Amino acid sequence: MKRRGLLAALTVVIVLVGSLAMPAGRSGTARASHTDVVIDWNLTMLATFWSTNLPPPVGNRDGAIVQAAVFDALNGIERRYTPIHVAAAAPPGASRQAAVVSAAYTALVSLFPTQKASLDAAFASSIAAIAEDEQGGSQSIARGLAWGKTVADAISAWRATDGFAATPPPYVFGTAPGEWKPTPGGSGPPKFRTLATTTPFALTSPSQFRPAGPPALTSARYTASFNEVKAYGGQVSTVRTAYQTETAKFWQLDTVTGIWDRVADSLLQSDHRDLLQHARILALTDIAFADSTIATWDAKNTFNFWRPVTAISQAATDGNPDTSPDPNWLPLLVTPYFQEYPSAHAGISSGGASVLASFYGANAEFTATSQGLPGVERTFHSFADAVAQIADARVFAGFHYRFSTDDGIQMGKQVAAQVERTMMLPLHGEGEPH
């Protein structure tokens, strides 16, 4: 009976999502049943991001789309929280696990059609494991698959009109001291400008938490930050330690979503929450990343501030007697090709870390890894310590001034609070902290 049920479920899969190379019976590649499919498919999402070399700012938006689809699909079955976008209820008896797999798969294929073959294999493995579960029935799986696809299609269609794919207006290059100018390693206008006008998930507008802006070029705050990054962030530095150099690379050679979602997955694996609660935590975290990214690019485009690699070479023009030029100065790592203020990595990390701290406590212990530095781990005893290290890393890399990381961190906290105040709110006295 189990084998018959499996074959029936696989037939339904073929009808719903296209012909897949499905294994008959038990497969050595199938995932074990009773695993957390929310975590499994978050990891599949991260692997897809990595294999496609997805730019970090784009990945922050895409991660929110995928996790929103997973949450709304599962919540549509259990109806315990306010939905993100899809308010309809799932058909009775729909499989929770199948809905998660179908939602994640459908969203990822929509975003990464060239990765369909590898996503098909992951999908087949997941569905085979679900079908082999003693509680898995072919009708329940079929309903879950259909529902997950319906939700993901709706989420994908919704976010397709958020403005990210719009054509930005012509960029006018400035020449005044403090204005952004092209940096080594790139050409043309700064990248990802449409993020500044992308519709947020939770914010009332991209500018809702816009910071005050960089300090005056002649201020003490600017002077201190200028001289710090000049000393610590250059290719040649007499003060930066080997550990600090590794720190700069650790946080640069992977994405915000990649590093922090793996942290979230490890925390989820150690708690006693259920599947929907896990989906909610990941959705809140990744939406905080997305909205922090949108808020950051609003500020970057508004203030259009120059990078240290420009400021240090052109310091003779800034009117500040306490900043000295060095035309040969280059940063430790290649400067990202967009405006400086505020720090994206510090601010976006602050947004996601603030969400995780609200569930696991400010002083939770966790270990972070970076895909770009295999075998290197960083263990922290609080979320604030990790975010502070990211701020240091951006200075050590030669990318940012300290005031930009400080202001970014504060903005990320504000974004996270807005996300948690307004999204996926408990219904019917659900026993969650917020």
Query: Which secondary-structure segment (H or E) carries 368?
Result: strand 366-369
Q: What is the pTM of this model?
A: 0.92
**And the tokens for 3?**
């084998």
3-state secondary structure of 179: strand
Q: Minimal CA–CA distance to 308: which of 188, 180, 151, 176?
A: 180
Q: Minimal CA–CA distance to 429: which of 60, 193, 80, 195?
A: 80
* CATH code for the part of the protein at 193-422: 1.10.606.20
Contact between 156 and 107 under an 8 Å Cβ cutoff? The reply is yes
Q: Minimal CA–CA distance to 319: which of 222, 253, 225, 234?
A: 222
pLDDT for res 361:
97
CA angle 263, 265, 270 (to 5 degrees): 100
Contacts of 99 (CB under 8 A, 6+ apart): 73, 74, 76, 77, 90, 144, 145, 147, 148, 151
Q: Minimal CA–CA distance to 329: which of 130, 133, 183?
A: 183
CA 318 to chain centre: 36
3-state secondary structure of 74: helix
Residues 351-377: b if buried by 16+ CB within 10 A, e if exposed: bbbbbbbbbbeeebebebbbebbeeee
Half-sphere exposure of 41 (CA within 13 A, CB side): 36
Helices 116-132 and 96-111 pack at an angle, to 10 degrees, of 180
Residue 380 phi/psi, 5-degree rounding, is -125, 155
Q: Minimal CA–CA distance to 264: which of 369, 344, 417?
A: 369
Contact between 370 and 251 under an 8 Å Cβ cutoff? The reply is yes
- Largest interatomic CA distance in the chain: 83
Q: CATH topology of 2-22+29-159 equal to that of 193-422?
A: no
Indicate the CATH number of 2-22+29-159 among 1.20.144, 1.10.20, 3.30.420, 1.10.3470: 1.20.144
Mean pLDDT by 10 residues, the chain (434 residues): 44 42 31 72 98 97 98 97 96 96 98 98 95 75 97 98 97 97 97 98 98 98 98 98 98 98 97 96 98 98 98 98 98 98 98 98 98 97 98 98 98 98 88 52
pLDDT for res 23:
31
pLDDT for res 175:
95
pLDDT for res 137:
78
Question: Where exactly are the structural domains of the chain?
Answer: 2-22+29-159, 193-422
Residue 160 phi/psi, 5-degree rounding, is -65, -20
Report how far residue 147's alpha carbon sits from residue 169's, in angstroms, rounded to the nearest whole number: 39
> Cα torsion at 173, 395, 411, 201 (round to 10°)?
70
Residue 377 phi/psi, 5-degree rounding, is -125, 150
The radius of gyration of the chain's CA atoms, rounded to the nearest angstrom, is 23
N- to C-terminal Cα distance for the chain? 44
Query: Which secondary-structure segment (H or E) carries 7?
Result: helix 2-17
- Please, is 239 exposed, middle or buried when counting C-beta atoms within 10 Å of its C-beta (0-12, 13-18, 19+)? exposed
- Please, is 47 exposed, middle or buried when counting C-beta atoms within 10 Å of its C-beta (0-12, 13-18, 19+)? middle
